[in-house]
Every structure is written in C-alpha cells, then in structure tokens.
Amino acid sequence: MAAREPDRRAEAVAALEAKIGYTFTDRALLDQALTHVSAENQKARPKPTYERLEFLGDRVLGLLAARHLLETWPVADENQLNTHHSALTDGPACTRAAELVGVAPAIRMGGGESQAGLRRHRSVLADVIEALLGAAFLDGGIPAASAVFERAWRDELAKPPPSKAQNNPKLALMQWAHTLKAPDPTYRVVSQTGSAHAPTFTVEASVAGYPPLTAQGRSRQDAEKAAAIGLLQREGVI
C-alpha cells in the first residue's frame, strides 16, 4: 500500500532536520515555519503559517550574514561588505539555500496550490527558509540559527567575494552598453509578490540588441542589481 501524504511529509521533515543539522525541541515552531497560508483552512482550527516567522528570520539572516562577513573578510571595506551581504541575503540566495537542504517536500500546503507547483516556487522557498531561521532562533537561540545558516547557506558562503562589476553591476552594465554604442540599459518591474513586510521584486534588465534577463530581489534596487549581474554573466562580460 502506498504511503499516505502525511507520512511522506513526515519523512521529508525528518530529512530536512538532518540536512540543517538541528532538531527542534518545540515541534510546533517547526510546523509553523513549514506551513503555507494555503493550508490555513484545511482543518477546523487554522494552523499558524510561516509569515510571522519569516519576518523574524529575515532579520536573523541579516545578522548572521553580517557576522560571517566581518569574521571572514577582515580587510573588506563597507561597500564590499554591503555588496556581499546583499548577495548572501537576496531572494535567489535564499531560494538556493532552501533547495540545498530540501525544504520543498516538507512544506505543508493546500492540495490545489501544491499540485500547481507552488511548493517549488522561488519566492515560497525563500520565505520558508527564512521562517526556518526565525523558528530555529526562537527554539535554540543564535547557536541553533547559526547551525541552520551554515548548512543551508554552505554553497553561498563558499563563493568568492564579489568582483568590481558585482560591487556596482548597474554601472558595469551601463559601461558595457556604451562600448556597444547602445543606449543606457533599462529596467522594468515585472512583478511584486510576497507579504507587505517582505516583498519579492522581479525585474527585467534590457540592453538594446540582446535578450532581456529577469532576476529577483527583496527590493527593487536589489532585483535590478541581480538582473544586471545576470545579464553581464550571461554575455560573458564577467
């Protein structure tokens, strides 16, 4: 007989805890961090969702990333630290962190939304991994949150410091466009999703004569920078 969905999800939650290197004492916190708003009406008594924990987790992530950078890059100036901090905490980095530790199968979600693929949507994964950081902080303080951060962000932390182009990607993209005798690059907000306190912007960057490229960020400015970097990387400029 095939395993029922609750059993498969329980296995996914156990696997997730193994990958993040932390076992929650308060199981309700873990469950809340992994519960999408679409699951609210699945039972008579609605379950708390990850949104409030995401609010906390966003701040915990910022603190842990800042501490890591100060310890790892002792000679970096403030601009370099800010650039690398943005790279560690933006939407794409959070999504990759969530994918690394296998967050998607552990999310509690309404059937329709799950079947539609929302479970693996980039913004949902980014929100849930931040909620998981917030839950770990409440459950075990900074040591617990650090354990999750170091495991989930392992690949991001191993990346080299941003290049000069990454320090100011919009300027680098504009300079490249000028070498092509093209007009200045343009940026267009494609969408804004997520909660009001932690939105995710999707922005399209364009250079005349080249296909546009879209990227996401926690602010419009971060999304524009991410799109500029992506376009420069795709065209082999950096």
Q: What is the CATH number of the domain that holds 24?
A: 1.10.1520.10
Number of helices (H), then strands (E), belonging to the chain: the values are 11, 3
Asked if the model's pLDDT at residue 165 lies above 80, the reply is no
Residue 83 shares a structural domain with residue 201: no
Residue 150 shares a structural domain with residue 188: no
User: Domain containing 194: what range?
Assistant: 165-234
Answer yes or no: are the C-beta atoms of 49 and 36 closer than 8 Å: yes
Options 54, 58, 139, 222, the catalytic residue: 58
Q: How many whole angstroms separate alpha carbon 203 and alpha carbon 188? A: 5
* Count of the separate structural domains present in the chain: 2
User: Is 58 assigned a catalytic role?
Assistant: yes
Q: Which of 160, 176, 202 delimits the end of a domain? A: 160
Task: Note the pTM of the prediction, 2 decimals.
Answer: 0.70
User: Is 127 assigned a catalytic role?
Assistant: no
Residue 39 shares a structural domain with residue 111: yes
Residue 141 shares a structural domain with residue 169: no
Residue 98 shares a structural domain with residue 80: yes
Options 90, 130, 204, 222, the catalytic residue: 130
Least confident of 39-43, 132-136, 231-235: 39-43
Residue 55 shares a structural domain with residue 74: yes
